[in-house]
Amino acid sequence: MTRPSEYFQMSARRYQDVYPSKPTITSGDLARRAAAELLTLEYFEAEPGEMPTEIFEQHHVLLNLKKEPHRVENWRNGEHRDFIFRQNEVVVTPAGVSSGWKWHAPSRVIVITLEPEKLERFAKYELGIVLGQEQLLDEPQFEDPGLVQAGWDLCNALQAEFGSAVIYESLSRIFLVKLLERYGRQQNEELAFSESFTVKHYQRVLNFVANNYGRSITVEDMAKQTAISPFHFSRLFKRTIGESPYQFLTAYRVEKAKEALSSDAEVPLIDIALSCGFADQAHFSRTFKKSTGKTPKAWRTGE
């Protein structure tokens, strides 16, 4: 069975919008903003059905939980695959890949959705990894029990009566680490990191920022971590990481401010501003809005 080749534009819809059934479990119900920032999860138990071939702006990771092998068809970048889908198999579909589906038996899958920009930020600011332009490997079918179990742990966290958002947030980080270790496309080290600016240099800078972002930090302070002159450090950092040291520091502070805004609704904005290294509340609000499009107050309340 084949489908005629067509030209597909990037869809404004999300994967979940075209799935033929509603999810049994979804992370969209979480009230805690930071928990849903890293990734979204839907658990589906669907009758035999199909999905049109589309190209999405998000990455999608399908985790098969069904014990019984079942026949599935996938139209992927013009190629037709007719295969048997087995328990613990994973399908990674990066953003920009056209994909359509037909499954011939009831399914039981977890669908993880990742925003490329958020995945890049997580890799850069939390793991010290610089992803390439193609962030994830295009893996149509691969067995990975560890990743599937990590997805199932996320489902269980969503069903917990107490502390589900906090547990979900921490387990999301575990899932992303597993995903990026196996499927992440890092920049070619020979191209991205020269002898003058290495992966270890970057990780030293990241560790320094992580331990000191609440106080005043200069480019000279960051350059000292690499034993490179500030002038050459700034040039090498921008060429390798894609942003200046100051832009990197500001983005890191905004990420930490998001965590603080989500963790306690009662903490005054001025306290968050100062603890994250901003000069004052006005500076914090201007910088935060420029980065996120929302004021800290609006972001905290979900307005």
Reported as a single tens digit per residue, the pLDDT across 105-118 is 999 999 999 999 99
Query: What is the pLDDT, as a whole number, of residue 98?
Result: 94
Query: What is the pLDDT, as a whole number, of residue 266?
Result: 86
Q: Please indicate, yes or no, whether residues 38 and 173 belong to a single structural domain of this protein.
A: yes
Written as six digits, the tokens of 73 are 């068809």
The CATH number of residue 148's host domain is 2.60.120.10
Q: Please indicate, yes or no, whether residues 22 and 130 belong to a single structural domain of this protein.
A: yes
* Structural domain count, the chain: 2
Mean pLDDT computed over every residue of the chain: 87
Query: What is the pLDDT, as a whole number, of residue 103?
Result: 95
Question: Which of 157, 186, 215 represents a domain boundary (last residue)?
Answer: 186
Domain carrying residue 133: 15-186
Reported as a single tens digit per residue, the pLDDT across 172-229 is 888 998 999 899 988 765 444 556 777 788 889 999 999 999 999 999 999 999 999 9
Q: Please indicate, yes or no, whether residues 211 and 292 belong to a single structural domain of this protein.
A: yes
Q: What is the pTM of this model?
A: 0.76
Instruction: Please report whether residue 3 resides in a domain.
Output: no
Question: Which of 152, 186, 220 represents a domain boundary (last residue)?
Answer: 186
Q: Please indicate, yes or no, whether residues 246 and 103 belong to a single structural domain of this protein.
A: no
Q: Please indicate, yes or no, whether residues 96 and 150 belong to a single structural domain of this protein.
A: yes
The CATH number of residue 252's host domain is 1.10.10.60
C-alpha torsion 119→125→128→134, nearest 10: 30
CB 289 within 8 A of CB 295: yes
Q: Please indicate, yes or no, whether residues 208 and 181 belong to a single structural domain of this protein.
A: no
Half-sphere exposure of 243 (CA within 13 A, CB side): 13
